[in-house]
Amino acid sequence: MEDVPSPIPIASAPKGVTRRNFYVGAIYGIGAAIAAALGIPAAVYLLFPPKIRQADQWIEIGDVTSLAADSPAEMTFRHNRVDGWKVSSEKATAWVVKHSDNSVTAFGPQCTHLGCAYHWDDGKSEFICPCHNSLFSIDGKVTAGPAPRPLDRYETRIDGKKLLIGRLIVPERQA
């Protein structure tokens, strides 16, 4: 009985690519493509630092000779802001005061109370924040109102006739 052949013939494994092997390979390939599409940007984000902000960037905002002495003027300028990998150009303003000794002070455009926009009142010779009635003198000090500190100032530099401003300096709270 040992020599009796088996009634069911054993099929040999097919040669070449089968439909099953093709589908398995296609699924693995699609999975690898999805993993690469998600993984490569994530790896770039984690491994490469964003653009480094330039230190001491000076922005030209106007001509110093056009300013009247002891009379604040609102000057508009454009500056580039770096946010991670994105660089955008933004419009900004500064209140600029040219003193009688030709020195210049530039103030940030927001009130130090809640960030409202303030303006110069020629009649009172003060900066006035209309929202909460904060008053500031021509040198940026608080004269009345709820503002907790003097106006923020930009670093300033004069290059020939051009006025350049740097970073915004936030002063300490008033006692």
104: number of Cβ within 10 Å:
18
Per domain, the residue ranges of the chain are: 15-48, 59-169
pLDDT at site 4? 64
What CA–CA distance (Å, rounded) separates 148 from 55?
29
Q: Say which DSSP state 65 is in.
A: G
**Architecture field, domain 59-169:** 3-layer Sandwich (2.102)
Write down the pLDDT at residue 32. Answer: 97
Residues in the chain with pLDDT values less than 70: 1-14, 50-56, 173-175
Please work out, in degrees rounded to the nearest 5, the angle formed at the alpha carbon of residue 44 by the alpha carbons of 39 and 49: 150
pLDDT at 133: 86
Exposed/middle/buried for residue 59 (C-beta within 10 Å: 0-12, 13-18, 19+): middle
- Model pLDDT, residue 2: 64
User: What global pTM score does this model have?
Assistant: 0.65
pLDDT value at residue 145: 85
